[in-house]
């Protein structure tokens, strides 16, 4: 965790160490950058994360999550039509899945349907770089359309990782059986038959945001810029998406079936922000 944060700070430091132009006024006297602080609510659509063939066994709930962060809106051109949005924030993504299994189907002498539900809270450091275009509605109102890449860096891999054998008592012998074994974490390999989880999860998401921006609104002791908007994102590439692999076993503990889910990070965000 500390290494991830250190790497992020170094990365930002490397990019911005010589960027004095950010605070240099343009010819019209305005600064080319606006600093916003934002909060947002995220809706994660998780239906595509589980293969349809597993729909009776493995289900993943859609969940609401939170976002808080700051962004720099760079408008270097005088007309302010073209802009660059750079954001750094924290995303809290809740993951919740259920597994339903009847051990008798694999030859166990336990004839009851078992249901297991698990809940995880993933905390991501989110970095977003997105160029865009600003549509002028009036002197002080604009629609900002930005699209680009958003990078999620998992900060709590230990909290997310889970290995768990599911044990049930066999009443006929008094011993337990292990009908299934669950492994949850962030997928390192793309092989569905043998998933390796990794503590380092850095994922790039394709990202689109539309924001309605109002400039010079009297708020909190002085005039500030405000914006509200909506964003969409989806997994693009990376090395560690949230995933679960469940293997079921027969009475001789031979692996029978394997089920898996893998988050595609399909989400919609509603956000609001004001300049500092």
Partner 1 sequence: MQKPSTLLRSIFLVCLLLSCGKSEYSYIYREIIADVYDKQGTRAVDSSPIKYPEHSIGISMPISTVASRMQWGNTAYALSKEVFASPADRVADIRVITLNDYNANYKAGSNIVDECSFLQEGMQYTEGYSYRGPYDFSKVWDKSSMIYHINQNPMAGRNSSVVQAIALHIKPLPDYNKPQRFAIALITENNVALIDTTVSFIFKP
Contact residues for partner 1, defined by CB under 8 A: 3-4, 6-7, 10-11, 13-14, 17, 157, 161, 163, 165, 167, 173, 175-178, 181, 183, 185, 188, 194-200, 245, 247, 249, 252-255
Whether the CB-CB separation of 256 and 179 falls below 8 Å is answered with: no
Whether the CB-CB separation of 225 and 213 falls below 8 Å is answered with: yes
Q: Token digits for 171?
A: 């009443």
Residue 125 C-beta: closest distance to partner 1, Å = 14
Using the structure block, give the residue that is written with the tokens 């809290």: 92
Q: What is the rounded distance in angstroms from the CA atom of residue 163 to the CA atom of residue 216?
A: 53
For residue 80, the number of C-alpha atoms closer than 13 Å in the C-beta half-sphere is: 21
Residue 202 C-beta: closest distance to partner 1, Å = 9
Residues 6+ apart with CB under 8 A from 53: none
Return the number of the residue (51 or 165) whose C-beta is nearest partner 1. 165
For residue 57, the number of C-alpha atoms closer than 13 Å in the C-beta half-sphere is: 20
Return the number of the residue (48 or 107) whose C-beta is nearest partner 1. 107
Return the number of the residue (177 or 269) whose C-beta is nearest partner 1. 177
Residue 106 C-beta: closest distance to partner 1, Å = 13
Residue 38 C-beta: closest distance to partner 1, Å = 27
Whether the CB-CB separation of 136 and 73 falls below 8 Å is answered with: no
195-215: b (≥16 Cβ within 10 Å) or e: bebbbebbbbbebbbbbbbbb
Return the number of the residue (73 or 246) whose C-beta is nearest partner 1. 246
Residue 116 C-beta: closest distance to partner 1, Å = 15
Return the number of the residue (6 or 268) whose C-beta is nearest partner 1. 6
């Amino acid at each position: 965790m500390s290494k991830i944060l250190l790497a992020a700070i170094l990365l930002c430091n490397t990019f911005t160490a010589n960027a004095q132009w950010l605070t240099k006024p343009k010819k019209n006297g305005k600064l080319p950058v606006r600093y916003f602080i934002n909060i947002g609510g995220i809706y994660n659509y998780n239906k595509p994360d589980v293969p349809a063939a597993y729909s009776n066994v493995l289900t993943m709930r859609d969940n609401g999550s939170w976002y808080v962060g700051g962004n720099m809106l760079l408008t270097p051109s005088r007309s302010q039509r073209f802009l660059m949005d750079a954001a750094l924030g924290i995303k809290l993504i809740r993951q919740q899945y259920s597994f339903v299994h009847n051990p008798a189907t694999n030859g166990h002498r336990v004839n009851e349907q078992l249901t297991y539900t698990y809940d995880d809270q993933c905390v991501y450091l989110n970095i977003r770089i997105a160029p865009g275009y600003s549509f002028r509605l009036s002197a002080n109102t604009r629609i900002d359309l930005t699209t680009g890449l958003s990078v999620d860096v998992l900060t709590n891999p230990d909290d997310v990782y889970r290995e768990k054998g599911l044990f049930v008592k066999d009443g006929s012998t008094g011993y337990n059986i292990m009908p299934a074994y669950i492994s949850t974490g962030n997928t390192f390999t793309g092989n569905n038959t043998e998933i390796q989880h990794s503590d380092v999860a850095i994922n790039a998401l394709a990202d689109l945001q539309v924001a309605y921006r109002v400039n010079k609104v009297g708020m909190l002791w002085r005039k500030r810029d405000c914006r509200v908007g909506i964003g969409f994102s989806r997994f693009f590439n990376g090395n560690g998406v949230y995933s679960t692999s469940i293997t079921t076993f027969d009475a001789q503990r031979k692996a029978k079936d394997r089920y898996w889910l893998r988050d595609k990070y399909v989400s919609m965000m509603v956000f609001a922000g004001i300049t500092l």
